[in-house]
């Protein structure tokens, strides 16, 4: 195996600087480079590395990732005066041009490629390039976030082209999302991109929806983009380690890269004004050490952000020491990830479950999904996952034309959106079950049934408690509706796939047992649904314990997939159903009260009526042979 660690540094790259006042950009200073290098010198690390010269990246190399137009704009800034430079800079989000910027950015690209060549040729085992301007925010046709050319993305394309690599891992531990890298490789399965980033539910720059955990890649690239959003500041050593243990490293080992490139921003370290995180410099030694175990040790570390000069320098030194093979320092702090970190980790694991074998046998880590919609605050607990709301156009297109006249009110539209977001999670097996409050349970149930049949389910069971103002057509057998209500609904006759069960629970309320066991479960088990929808509408004839019993027992079907839709006026019912979905034991029923003779007769009559169609109802020999 190759030995030695390359260090690429060229003080030329310190000439790129901000010429006017701009409070957003003024942290990206030349001293970031020079003081990191001084720090390396003071630890006597420079002399232990193999010095590799930088070079300018060629136009051809830049065009591997960027448009000709972008290259020409950048080139044209070399001869501009301050005023002109300022004007071009204003075309971009958080970028400044200096007359030397173009030259520096070409050096940054070339330095990165020199490192790739040194590692790929075996001249060194690994190495680091200290470059400015950074690269990971820059896009095909735009500078962005202090970045002009995407050094790391160009390096990956270059390595594919020059060395025929088929699997490259990019680890972006900068505290910002390298959306530029994501865009460039979104559809490319040969580049696995991992980024963690301060996100705060999209509040933090660059505030993009596509930085969230559910951006997993597109087309052939699905599963090869991994976003781990941090929704709180103050993430520390144990959060970063947990992210490596439970997300990045398992995927990286399964991916088996031929080369690892790090978008190495140290603004994720303690003291940084941008990141506001708590991880100490030692953590970067550990992260580096882990990545050295991949790709036969071929590891290229490229500087991105890092704005606290002391923290930056120390972290760079930790990285270089580890690359050189020095012992890894002890990590400090309580070794427990915070709740918010664990939540993010669970979400990204769930989102990637379809794409990675090591996740295939995971049961949904969180059992129940709900949205933050009205009413849900009453049953949120650590076992209940909050699902993102959909935006209105998205919901409209999903509901398109279906009961359109009923969906005029915003409140109804939003509640359907919540329900659909939850149902989607269940269909994707990210969660096991879900609960949604709705102002119109019958409508929500109808939409849920249609959506899951369109998804491809052959049999969806719906148990509806209360008055069901909308009855979907069940003729094709893809739905089976059991409507439990007090009185016969006028004009609705029971048939194989629509059964009206007129049942009013007694005041003492435990005779519902006999209906569940004597009729509902045998029918449901005969049907073998792929999904169960439990809905509670107005005028429910069952009490809370009866409904909880239904919820508990119906979890025996459809691999426990249940979506519960409950009219939003029933807070205590919502709470009990959420509990039952979470697997809490059913509340005690009190002293056994046998059903009245009238009720026993009713069950018997229903059994007689349906036992030819739903054979699990059979319980007496004179009614026929059970299996034909
Ligand atoms: C490379 C990097 C950050 C840009 C922040 C703009 N860019 N607010 O860390
Ligand atoms: Zn950054």
How far, in Å, from the CA of 303 to the mean position of ligand 2?
10
**6 within a domain of the structure (yes/no):** no
Asked whether residue 382 falls in the same domain as residue 354, the answer is no
Best residue for ligand 1 mutational test, from 146, 173, 196, 269 (most atoms within 8 Å of Cβ): 146
Among 16-30, 241-255, 359-373, 613-627, the range scoring the smallest mean pLDDT is: 359-373
Neighbours of 324 (CB within 10 A): 15
Ligand 1 pocket member 229 (CB < 6 A): no
**601 within a domain of the structure (yes/no):** yes
Asked whether residue 443 falls in the same domain as residue 336, the answer is no
pLDDT tens per residue, range 290-317: 999 999 999 999 999 999 999 999 999 9
Ligand 1: which atom is nearest the Cα of residue 174?
9
* pLDDT tier at 428, thresholds 50, 70, 90: confident
Where is the domain boundary, 311, 326, 359? 359
* pLDDT tier at 512, thresholds 50, 70, 90: confident
Looking at the CA of 172, which ligand is closest?
A: 2
Ligand 1 pocket member 24 (CB < 6 A): yes
Ligand 1: which atom is nearest the Cα of residue 306?
9
H/E segment holding residue 260: strand 259-264
Is omega for the bond preceding 323 within 30 degrees of 0, making it cis?
A: no
Asked whether residue 504 falls in the same domain as residue 572, the answer is yes
Best residue for ligand 1 mutational test, from 22, 131, 174, 176 (most atoms within 8 Å of Cβ): 176
Measured by CA distance, the residue closest to atom 1 of ligand 1 is 305
* pLDDT more than 90, % of the chain: 71
Q: Determine the structural domain holding residue 327 and report its residue range.
A: 12-120+130-359
Asked whether residue 330 falls in the same domain as residue 388, the answer is no
What is the structure's pLDDT at 374? Answer: 60
In whole angstroms, give the CA distance from residue 547 to residue 556. 15
Looking at the CA of 304, which ligand is closest?
A: 1
Ligand 1 pocket member 258 (CB < 6 A): no
Where is the domain boundary, 333, 359, 385? 359
Ligand 1 pocket member 177 (CB < 6 A): no
Q: Is the pLDDT of residue 624 over 60?
A: no
Asked whether residue 316 falls in the same domain as residue 451, the answer is no
**125 within a domain of the structure (yes/no):** no
Asked whether residue 349 falls in the same domain as residue 290, the answer is yes
**454 within a domain of the structure (yes/no):** yes
Q: CA-CA-CA-CA torsion for 24, 215, 414, 375, nearest 10 degrees?
A: -90
> How many domains are there within the chain?
2
Best residue for ligand 1 mutational test, from 94, 132, 178 (most atoms within 8 Å of Cβ): 94
How far, in Å, from the CA of 233 to the mean position of ligand 1?
16
Please, how many CA atoms are within 13 Å of residue 570, restricted to the half-sphere of its CB? Answer: 28
Where is the domain boundary, 359, 378, 398? 359
Is omega for the bond preceding 521 within 30 degrees of 0, making it cis?
A: no
Stronger pLDDT, 487 or 520, i.e. the higher one = 520
**3 within a domain of the structure (yes/no):** no
Asked whether residue 108 falls in the same domain as residue 73, the answer is yes
Residue 6's beta-bridge partner residues?
50, 127
Q: What are the backbone angles phi and psi of residue 443, rounded to the nearest 5°? A: -65, -45
How far, in Å, from the CA of 146 to the mean position of ligand 1?
6
Asked whether residue 343 falls in the same domain as residue 374, the answer is no
How far, in Å, from the CA of 274 to the mean position of ligand 1?
8
Angle at 608 between CA 602 and CA 614, to 5 degrees: 110
3-class secondary structure, 327? coil
Q: Is-contact 25 96, C-beta < 8 A?
A: yes
**152 within a domain of the structure (yes/no):** yes
Neighbours of 476 (CB within 10 A): 9
What is the structure's pLDDT at 554? Answer: 92
Ligand 1 pocket member 28 (CB < 6 A): no
Kindly state the DSSP code that residue 244 receives in the 8-state scheme. I
What is the structure's pLDDT at 392? Answer: 78
In whole angstroms, give the CA distance from residue 64 to residue 317. 32
Ligand 1 pocket member 174 (CB < 6 A): yes
Give me the catalytic one of 66, 98, 137, 197. 137
Asked whether residue 325 falls in the same domain as residue 382, the answer is no
Ligand 1: which atom is nearest the Cα of residue 304?
1
* pLDDT more than 70, % of the chain: 93
Ligand 1: which atom is nearest the Cα of residue 94?
6
pLDDT tens per residue, range 539-586: 999 998 889 989 988 988 998 899 999 997 778 899 899 989 988 777
Residue 44 bears catalytic tag:
no
Q: Is-contact 237 315, C-beta < 8 A?
A: no
In whole angstroms, give the CA distance from residue 57 to residue 115. 12
Ligand 1 pocket member 137 (CB < 6 A): yes
Q: Is-contact 14 30, C-beta < 8 A?
A: yes
Ligand 1 pocket member 306 (CB < 6 A): no
Query: What is the token pair recorded at 378?
Result: 């009453």
How far, in Å, from the CA of 64 to the mean position of ligand 2?
23
In whole angstroms, give the CA distance from residue 254 to residue 266. 27
Q: Is the pLDDT of residue 115 over 90?
A: yes
Residue 404, C-beta contacts closer than 8 angstroms, at least 6 positions apart: none
Asked whether residue 333 falls in the same domain as residue 218, the answer is yes
Residue 619's beta-bridge partner residues?
none
Looking at the CA of 275, which ligand is closest?
A: 2
Ligand 1 pocket member 579 (CB < 6 A): no
Ligand 1: which atom is nearest the Cα of residue 205?
8
What is the structure's pLDDT at 627? Answer: 58
Q: Is the pLDDT of residue 625 over 80?
A: no
Is omega for the bond preceding 133 within 30 degrees of 0, making it cis?
A: yes
Q: What share of the chain is helix, strand, coil (3-state, %, to 5)?
A: 40, 15, 45
**420 within a domain of the structure (yes/no):** yes
Question: Whose structure tokens read 């976030």?
Answer: 145
* pLDDT tier at 623, thresholds 50, 70, 90: low
Ligand 1 pocket member 205 (CB < 6 A): yes
Q: What are the backbone angles phi and psi of residue 415, rounded to the nearest 5°? A: -70, -35
Asked whether residue 493 falls in the same domain as residue 422, the answer is yes
CATH of the domain at 180: 3.40.800.20
How far, in Å, from the CA of 195 to the mean position of ligand 1?
14
Among 120-124, 348-352, 553-557, 619-623, the range scoring the smallest mean pLDDT is: 619-623
Measured by CA distance, the residue closest to atom 9 of ligand 1 is 305
Residue 76, C-beta contacts closer than 8 angstroms, at least 6 positions apart: none
pLDDT tens per residue, range 5-38: 999 999 999 999 999 999 999 999 999 999 999 9
How far, in Å, from the CA of 508 to the mean position of ligand 2?
63
Q: Is the pLDDT of residue 281 over 60?
A: yes
Best residue for ligand 1 mutational test, from 25, 92, 145 (most atoms within 8 Å of Cβ): 145
Question: Whose structure tokens read 């550990």?
Answer: 286
Please, how many CA atoms are within 13 Å of residue 93, restricted to the half-sphere of its CB? Answer: 12
In whole angstroms, give the CA distance from residue 224 to residue 513. 50
Stronger pLDDT, 379 or 475, i.e. the higher one = 475
Ligand 1 pocket member 172 (CB < 6 A): no
Q: Is the pLDDT of residue 144 over 60?
A: yes
Q: Is the pLDDT of residue 125 over 60?
A: yes
pLDDT tens per residue, range 353-382: 899 988 877 656 557 777 766 656 666 665
Residue 365, C-beta contacts closer than 8 angstroms, at least 6 positions apart: 346, 349, 350
Q: Is the pLDDT of residue 509 over 90?
A: no
How far, in Å, from the CA of 143 to the mean position of ligand 1?
11
Question: Whose structure tokens read 């205590």?
Answer: 572
How far, in Å, from the CA of 21 to the mean position of ligand 2?
20
Asked whether residue 73 falls in the same domain as residue 156, the answer is yes
**336 within a domain of the structure (yes/no):** yes
Ligand 1 pocket member 304 (CB < 6 A): yes
């Amino acid at each position: 195996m190759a030995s030695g660690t390359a260090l690429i540094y060229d003080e030329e790259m310190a000439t790129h600087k901000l010429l006017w006042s701009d409070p957003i950009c003024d942290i990206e200073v030349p001293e970031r480079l020079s003081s990191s290098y001084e720090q390396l010198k003071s630890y006597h690390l420079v002399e232990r590395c193999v010095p590799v010269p930088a070079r300018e990246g060629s136009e051809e190399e830049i065009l591997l990732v960027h448009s000709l137009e972008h290259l020409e704009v950048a080139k044209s800034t070399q001869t501009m005066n301050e005023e002109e430079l300022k004007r071009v800079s204003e075309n971009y989000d958080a970028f400044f041009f200096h007359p030397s910027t173009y030259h520096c950015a070409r050096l940054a690209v070339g330095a990165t490629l020199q490192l790739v060549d040194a590692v790929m040729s075996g001249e060194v085992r690994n190495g680091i390039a200290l470059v400015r301007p950074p690269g990971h925010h820059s896009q095909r046709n735009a500078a962005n976030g202090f970045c002009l050319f995407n050094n790391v993305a160009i390096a990956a394309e270059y390595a594919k082209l020059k060395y025929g690599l088929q699997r490259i891992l990019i680890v972006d531990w900068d505290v910002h999302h390298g959306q530029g890298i994501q865009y460039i490789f979104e559809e490319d399965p040969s580049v696995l991109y991992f980024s963690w980033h301060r996100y705060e539910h999209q509040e933090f720059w660059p505030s993009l929806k596509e930085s969230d955990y559910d951006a997993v890649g597109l087309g052939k690239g699905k599963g090869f983009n991994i976003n781990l959003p941090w929704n709180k500041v103050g993430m520390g050593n144990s959060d970063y380690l947990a992210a490596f243990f439970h997300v990045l490293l398992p995927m990286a080992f399964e991916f088996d890269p031929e080369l690892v490139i790090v978008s190495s921003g140290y603004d994720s370290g303690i003291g940084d004004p941008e990141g506001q995180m708590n991880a100490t410099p030692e953590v970067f030694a550990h992260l580096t050490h882990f990545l050295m175990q991949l790709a036969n040790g071929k590891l290229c570390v490229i500087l991105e952000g890092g704005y606290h000069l002391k923290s930056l320098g120390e972290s760079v030194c930790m990285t270089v020491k580890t690359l050189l093979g020095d012992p890894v320092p002890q990590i400090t702090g309580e070794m427990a990830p915070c709740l918010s970190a664990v939540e993010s980790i669970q979400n990204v694991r769930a989102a990637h479950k379809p794409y990675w074998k090591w996740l295939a046998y995971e049961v949904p880590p969180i059992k129940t999904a709900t949205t933050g919609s009205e009413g849900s605050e009453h049953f949120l607990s650590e076992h209940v996952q909050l699902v993102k709301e959909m935006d209105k156009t998205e919901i409209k297109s999903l509901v398109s034309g279906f009961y359109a006249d009923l969906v005029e009110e915003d409140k109804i539209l939003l509640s359907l959106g919540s329900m659909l977001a939850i149902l989607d999670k269940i269909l994707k097996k990210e969660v096991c079950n879900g609960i949604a409050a709705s102002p119109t349970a019958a409508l929500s149930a109808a939409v849920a049934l249609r959506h899951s049949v369109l998804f491809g389910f052959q049999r969806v069971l719906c148990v509806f408690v209360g008055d069901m103002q909308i009855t979907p057509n069940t003729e094709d057998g893809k739905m089976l509706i059991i409507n439990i209500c007090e009185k016969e609904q006028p004009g609705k006759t029971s048939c194989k796939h629509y059964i009206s069960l007129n049942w009013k629970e007694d005041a003492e309320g435990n005779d519902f047992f006999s209906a569940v066991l004597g009729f509902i479960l045998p029918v449901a088990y005969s049907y073998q649904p792929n999904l169960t929808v439990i809905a509670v509408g107005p005028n429910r004839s069952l009490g809370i314990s009866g409904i909880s019993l239904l919820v508990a027992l119906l979890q025996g079907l459809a691999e426990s997939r249940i979506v519960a839709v409950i009219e939003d006026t029933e807070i205590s019912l919502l709470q009990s159903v959420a509990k039952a979905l979470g697997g809490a034991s059913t509340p005690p029923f009190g002293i056994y009260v046998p059903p009245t003779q009238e009720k026993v007769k009713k069950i018997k009559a229903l059994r007689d009526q349906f036992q030819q169609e739903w054979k699990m109802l059979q319980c007496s020999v004179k009614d026929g042979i059970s299996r034909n």
